[in-house]
Amino acid sequence: MANEDDATKISQEILADARNKAERAMKAAQREADAIAQRARDEAKQIEQEVLAAARKRAESKVKVIQATADPERRRLELDKREKVIKGVMDEAKARLLKRDGEYGKNLLALAAEAAESLGGGQLVAYLALQDMEKFRATLPEQVGAALKAGGVDAQINVQIAKEPIEGGVIVETADGLRRVDNSMEARLRRFYAEIRRKVAGILYK
């Protein structure tokens, strides 16, 4: 009977020890599983942060590229807009100059006299636009001659239609054609374009 009790006791102790070892092993395995899972979560979070950082960096680079492209384009569009406005003002000024009313006759005389004087007088040819021939052909030589004579310059002027089309103003040449002064409206606007453009821009875009 004693032997049976001893055997039972021993078997119980063995089973208890086995259970304890199994529980410790399970707890150790659970801790290891938890640790592995935590490392996996940490690694996943790290990867996520790295992916987000890389994506953010790519996005920032793309934004910079877009801005670098957009800024010059925006400036170009703004300059184009300003240029169109300034050109419109210049075109309007030119149209008013060519209306041939008001002060046009006086302006034409002044341009012709200025050109003739700079050429030193003498035998000259004044070329007019077709629109001006009928109105000024007869009077221009006498008026210019009188204006120059008052300043001590003698000039004889022959008036002809301009060899190249001009819209207004006058081109004056020496009789031999070797020297000329282009005081056509087109030439005058070209010569003073930069100055006029600067003044117009200053008024429009203070």
Give per-residue pLDDT as tens, 171-202.
999 999 899 999 998 888 888 777 877 877 77
Q: Which residue has the higher pLDDT, 192 or 7?
A: 192
Task: Verify that 119 and 183 share a domain, yes or no.
Answer: yes
Q: Residue 187 belongs to what domain range?
A: 103-204
Q: How many domains does the chain have?
A: 2
Cα–Cα distance between 37 and 34 in angstroms, integer?
5
Task: Verify that 72 and 14 share a domain, yes or no.
Answer: yes
Q: Which of 97, 119, 143 is the last residue of a domain?
A: 97
Q: Which of 97, 123, 141 is the last residue of a domain?
A: 97
Task: Look at 3-7, 116-120, 149-153 and tell me which has the smallest mean pLDDT.
Answer: 3-7
Q: 58: which 2 tokens?
A: 């790519």
Task: Verify that 122 and 92 share a domain, yes or no.
Answer: no
> Using alpha carbons only, what angle is made at residue 176 by residues 143 and 169, rounded to the nearest 5 degrees?
40
Task: Verify that 8 and 41 share a domain, yes or no.
Answer: yes
pLDDT at 200: 72
Q: Which of 97, 122, 154 is the last residue of a domain?
A: 97
Per-residue confidence band for 206, with pLDDT thresholds at 50, 70 and 90: low
Sign of the C-alpha dihedral computed for residues 9, 14, 17 and 22 taken in this order: negative
Task: Verify that 83 and 123 share a domain, yes or no.
Answer: no
Task: Verify that 13 and 55 share a domain, yes or no.
Answer: yes
* pTM for the whole structure: 0.57
Task: Verify that 108 and 199 share a domain, yes or no.
Answer: yes
Q: Is the pLDDT of residue 44 over 60?
A: no
Percent pLDDT > 90 in the chain is: 16
Cα–Cα distance between 118 and 184 in angstroms, integer?
15
Per-residue buried b or exposed e for 137-157, using 16+ beta carbons within 10 Å of the residue's own CB:
eeebbebbbebbeeeebebeb
